[in-house]
């Protein structure tokens, strides 16, 4: 039987992994960003998905063989489109900062990645009118409000810290027009990844029939991440050859054994954390029962919530004004409220409350 409360908690674990996956980048030295990104992408989108997929899904290749060809192709193509989103995200940060980029893009992703699949299947009205449906949609609304308030807090933070040099931070060349354009693209393409997972859902059913149980989502994840990897492999291989940075991947002597080992280790850790978010997403999604459609917005809002918590722990908000801190606290309270409301709604829908 589905357990939405457990599913929400597992989504929270995925949110922690997602919000910390790029922290290892701070330890990478003597490598270009292109080199780091290509190696971490190899582990996040290719190596870990296949290894974990083979370990957790019985007869994995048989699952692919039984699936409709159109499902395999479409899920992979959508994943490859998402691959461009990460590039746009990285560029946007340089123009409007991390907080604003992260919040706007994830906010767009949360909306589109949840609503579009429901519209595709003609289930929007049905899910809304189902037992607990209105409560779940109310929680989703709170989540979006919380994300918007987080964006306001992030914007105020960047204004507060403007002119203050932060050690190790990448210089910010503020360009709202260019940054916002890239952020909008990144947000839409991030939602495409959620749609890719939805398109690949038939693989989950086949994997479940093969005995994968709660790990059934690992089969479809291979298609979505595989598409993203293909895009990034082609792009960053060309960039690496053009800039002469690709050789850094094998230049142990030039970089030094210690630095090289650290860089590789941090890239692997980044890939593991990025993949970890969707490993737990798949398990959490399975436990959401009839309200699995809410998984995407829960995941995105959890991601935002914990990214701001990480920022607080790392004292990124230490020098902001009291007013900015108040806005941040309000945002986090609204997000916590949304998690509780959505979990309650899904439990109502599954009959775990009120005897339905």
Question: How many C-beta atoms surround the C-beta of residue 317 within 10 A?
Answer: 19
**Whether the predicted pLDDT of 93 surpasses 90:** no
Condensed to tens digits (0 to 9), the pLDDT of residues 195-219 reads 999 899 999 999 999 999 989 999 9
The CA-CA-CA angle for residues 103, 26, 19, to 5°, reads 35
Q: How far apart are CA 85 and CA 235, in angstroms?
A: 13
Q: How confident is the model at residue 353 (pLDDT cuts 50, 70, 90)?
A: low
CB 339 within 8 A of CB 8: yes
Predicted TM-score of the model (pTM): 0.81
Map the chain to HEC letters. CCCHHHHHHHHHHHHHHHHHCCHHHHHCCCCCHHHHHHHHHHHHHHHHHHHHHHHHCCCHHHHHHHCCHHHHHHHHHHHHHHHHHHHHHHHHHHHHCHHHHHHHHHHHHHHHHHHHHHHHCCCHHHHHHCCCHHHHHHHHHHHHHHHHHHHHHHHHHHHHCCCCCCCCCCCCCCCHHHHHHHHHHHHHHHHHHHHHHHHCHHHHHHHHHCCCHHHCHHHHHHHHHHHHHHHHHHHHHHHHHHHCCHHHHCCHHHHCHHHHHHHHHHHHHHHHHHHHHHHHHHHHHHHCHHHHHHHHHHHHHHHHHHHHHHHHHCCCCCCCCHHHHHHHHHHHHHHHHHHHHHHHHHHHHCCCCCCC
Of 94-98, 245-249, 310-314, where does the model show the most confidence?
245-249
- Check residue 350 and give its pLDDT: 67
Give how far Cα 277 sits from Cα of 257, 261, 351, Å: 30, 25, 28
Q: Compute and round to an integer the Cα radius of gyration of the chain.
A: 20
Q: How far apart are CA 260 and CA 59, in angstroms?
A: 37
Q: How far apart are CA 258 and CA 256, in angstroms?
A: 6
Helix axes of 322-349 and 295-313: crossing angle, nearest 10 degrees = 150
What's the N-to-C CA distance of the chain in angstroms? 14
Residue 349 CB burial class (10 angstroms; 0-12, 13-18, ≥19): buried
**What average pLDDT does range 105-125 have in this prediction?**
83
Question: How many C-beta atoms surround the C-beta of residue 225 within 10 A?
Answer: 28
CA 253 from chain centre, in angstroms, equals 35
Condensed to tens digits (0 to 9), the pLDDT of residues 300-326 reads 888 888 888 887 887 778 888 999 989
- Check residue 272 and give its pLDDT: 96
Q: What percent of the chain has pLDDT over 90?
A: 42
């Amino acid at each position: 039987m589905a357990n939405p409360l457990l599913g929400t908690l597992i989504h929270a674990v995925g949110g922690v992994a997602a919000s910390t996956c790029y922290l290892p980048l701070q330890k990478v030295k003597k490598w270009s960003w292109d080199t780091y990104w290509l190696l971490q992408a190899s582990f996040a989108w290719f190596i870990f998905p296949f290894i974990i997929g083979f370990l957790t899904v019985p007869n994995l290749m048989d699952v692919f063989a039984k699936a409709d060809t159109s499902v395999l192709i479409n899920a992979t193509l959508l994943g490859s489109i998402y691959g461009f989103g990460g590039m746009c995200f990285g560029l946007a940060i340089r123009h409007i900062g991390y907080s604003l980029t992260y919040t706007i893009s994830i906010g767009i992703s949360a909306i589109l990645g949840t609503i579009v699949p429901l519209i595709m299947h003609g289930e929007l009205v049905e899910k809304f009118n189902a037992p607990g449906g209105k409560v779940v949609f109310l929680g989703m609304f709170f989540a979006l409000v919380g994300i918007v308030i987080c964006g306001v807090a992030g914007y105020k933070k960047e204004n507060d810290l403007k002119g203050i040099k932060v050690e190790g931070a990448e210089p910010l060349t503020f360009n709202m027009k260019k940054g916002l354009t890239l952020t909008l693209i990144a947000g839409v393409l991030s939602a495409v990844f959620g749609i890719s997972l939805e398109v690949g859902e038939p693989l989950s059913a086949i994997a479940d029939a093969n005995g994968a149980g709660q790990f059934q989502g690992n089969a479809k994840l291979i298609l979505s991440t595989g598409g993203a990897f293909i895009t990034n492999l082609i792009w960053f291989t060309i960039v690496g050859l053009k800039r002469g940075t690709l050789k850094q991947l094998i230049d142990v002597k030039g970089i030094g054994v210690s630095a090289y080992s650290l860089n590789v280790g941090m890239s692997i850790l980044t890939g593991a954390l990025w993949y970890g978010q969707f490993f737990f997403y798949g398990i959490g999604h399975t436990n959401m029962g009839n309200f699995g459609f809410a998984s995407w917005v829960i995941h995105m809002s959890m991601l935002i919530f914990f990214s701001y918590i990480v920022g607080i722990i790392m004292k990124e908000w230490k020098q902001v004004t009291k007013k900015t801190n108040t806005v941040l606290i309000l945002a986090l309270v609204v997000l916590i409220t949304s998690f509780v409301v959505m979990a309650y709604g899904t439990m109502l829908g599954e009959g775990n409350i009120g005897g339905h």
